[in-house]
Copies of this chain bind each other. A is one copy, B any other.
Amino acid sequence: MTEQPHRIDTVRPLRASQVAHWDLEADVVVAGYGIAGVCAAIEAARAGARVLIVERTGGWGGAASLAGGFVYLGGGTPLQRALGFDDTPENMAAFLTAALGPGVDTAKIEDYCAGSVEHYDWLVDCGVPFKETFWGEPGWEPPHDEGLMYSGGENAAPFLDIATPAPRGHVPALADKKTGERGGGYMLMKPLADTVSELGVDVEYDTRIRRLIVDDTDRVVGILATRYGKPVHIRAARGVVLATGSFAYDPEMIDRYTPRLSGRPGAAIEEHDGIGIRLAQALGAELAHMDASEVAVFGDPQMMARGILVNGRGQRYVTEDTYPGRIGQATLLQNDNQAFLVIDEAALEEALATETATPFFRFPPKWVAESVAELEAEMGLPEQTLQTTVDVYNRNAEQGADPLLGKKAEWLRPLTPPLAGYDLRGCTAGFTLGGLRTDLDSRVLHVSGEPIAGLYAAGRCTSGLCAYGYVSGASLGDGSFYGRRAGKAAATD
């Protein structure tokens, strides 16, 4: 036992034998009060454990409460059924396997889909409100408080031929507009945080996890945190749950694993510095899919669906009526972050007359041209590239077909000048999806394949459902689902 203060500038574990005094103690210690942490805390408390949440900021919420709030659920949830959509766990799994791969964790996909209806009921039981309304238009999010929406390209090529399309983006109802500007993520977190309070869970805010504490058998038995710079030693009698988020804001990890996201973090919070991943790695934890990333493109889906997207060679490369996050990934990861949107005047007017959740993406076009050739030249594309692309598109659109990419007939209409051109080159941002490898009980797996005793993780510090692709709601979805598993498993450890 040492009297020296322990280092807080290393991610190496601290030996319990070095801890002279435990400042706090609980059965289950949850690091991070976002979506994964809140769900872990609820389930651990309900299982009879004394739970302590340690949160680095001054309040609950994490990235979740700033998010749009999609929770990806299906397999026949009450909301899906009430709105007339058929779905089964198998159908949902078929879609997710195709859309989130290559390389998905098949067991996790099947498990998640099989448990999805129960998970919906659990959220509702905790007080999460979903309105029985459906938003069927292209968009990043519903513009109002609609509760259900396509959020992964389920009803677009190629997936509509792989699985029966069903919307699975479940959005907690927005707060009363009068009370403020709270989004769906807040409305997801609020009732869950209220549930945590009702359960008598302790929360220490402004308290930041620094190191894991292990006993002589390498079992995790606590954490070293800091509060206003002072060390706090916290004993976890049963387990520690890491729920500390992604590494989107750690530039070195980004360079090492997802360099295409370098300088373009999006939809995550600055606290997402990868600390949970690094702490577990120091114990020999295995990782997975560290290159996977969500990618947003700064385009309005109502406009994109009605136009065509071309890459830096003037070629179409993604069906424009799909989930816009899929467009973002195809742009950044497969087309060197080069994209142009071309739309004609009539389609643009029609698009601008629709509702959208992203009016800020409806900026004026960079170019307006009287012909495709003129637009092509203004965009700096090689001669005849955009022209032939539009020729082929128009010829097929007249027949109501898109043999190149399978855009649905409802969005196909020949582009007729004058044309507007949008410069979307470099207009992407994203967050990371890779992280700790966990089992179905959210136990952090050692590289040997065995669990690391006493250590659990959920949310974006883990590799969840997504191996490469993304759907909106996957992060709040697997974060909440496997957060619950982590809490349950830790409580009974």
Residues of chain A at the chain B interface (Cβ within 8 Å): 10-12, 101-103, 255-257, 259-260, 262, 278, 281-284, 286-291, 313, 315-317, 333-335, 382-385, 388-389, 391-392, 395-396, 403-405, 437, 446-448, 450, 463, 467-468
Q: Which residues of B contact A284 (CB under 8 A)?
A: 12, 281-284
Q: How many copies does the complex hold?
A: 2
Once A316-B313, A446-B12 are accepted as A-B contacts, the answer to whether A289 and B384 lie under 8 Å apart by CB is no
Q: Which residues of B contact A447 (CB under 8 A)?
A: 11, 278, 281-282
Does A255 contact B103, Cβ atoms closer than 8 Å? yes
Q: Which residues of B contact A334 (CB under 8 A)?
A: 333-335
Q: How far is the CA of A260 from the CA of B289 in the complex (A)?
A: 12
Once A255-B103, A259-B467, A468-B259 are accepted as A-B contacts, the answer to whether A404 and B382 lie under 8 Å apart by CB is yes
What are 12 pairs between A and B in contact, CB < 8 Å? Answer: A11-B448, A12-B448, A101-B259, A102-B260, A256-B463, A257-B288, A259-B468, A290-B290, A313-B404, A334-B335, A385-B392, A388-B389
User: SS class of chain A's interface: helix, strand, loop or mixed?
Assistant: loop
In this complex, the member of A389, A447, A467 whose beta carbon has the largest number of chain B beta carbons within 10 angstroms is: A447
Q: How far is the CA of A90 from the CA of B256 in the complex (A)?
A: 23
In this complex, the member of A315, A335, A389 whose beta carbon has the largest number of chain B beta carbons within 10 angstroms is: A315
Q: How far is the CA of A396 from the CA of B286 in the complex (A)?
A: 51
Q: How far is the CA of A257 from the CA of B384 in the complex (A)?
A: 40
Shortest Cβ distance from residue A466 to the other chain B in the assembled complex, whole angstroms: 12
Q: Which residues of B contact A103 (CB under 8 A)?
A: 255-256, 259-260, 262
Q: How far is the CA of A383 from the CA of B313 in the complex (A)?
A: 19
Q: Which residues of B contact A257 (CB under 8 A)?
A: 288-291
Shortest Cβ distance from residue A168 to the other chain B in the assembled complex, whole angstroms: 23
Q: Which residues of B contact A437 (CB under 8 A)?
A: 256
Q: Which residues of B contact A405 (CB under 8 A)?
A: 313
Once A260-B102, A448-B12 are accepted as A-B contacts, the answer to whether A291 and B288 lie under 8 Å apart by CB is no
Does B448 contact A10, Cβ atoms closer than 8 Å? yes
Does A403 contact B388, Cβ atoms closer than 8 Å? no
Shortest Cβ distance from residue A334 to the other chain B in the assembled complex, whole angstroms: 4
In this complex, the member of A255, A262, A333 whose beta carbon has the largest number of chain B beta carbons within 10 angstroms is: A255
Q: How far is the CA of A396 from the CA of B447 in the complex (A)?
A: 54
Q: How far is the CA of A282 from the CA of B445 in the complex (A)?
A: 11
Q: How far is the CA of A290 from the CA of B286 in the complex (A)?
A: 12
Give 8 nearest A-B pairs by CB, closest first. Answer: A103-B259, A291-B291, A382-B403, A388-B388, A102-B259, A281-B447, A282-B284, A334-B334
Shortest Cβ distance from residue A317 to the other chain B in the assembled complex, whole angstroms: 8
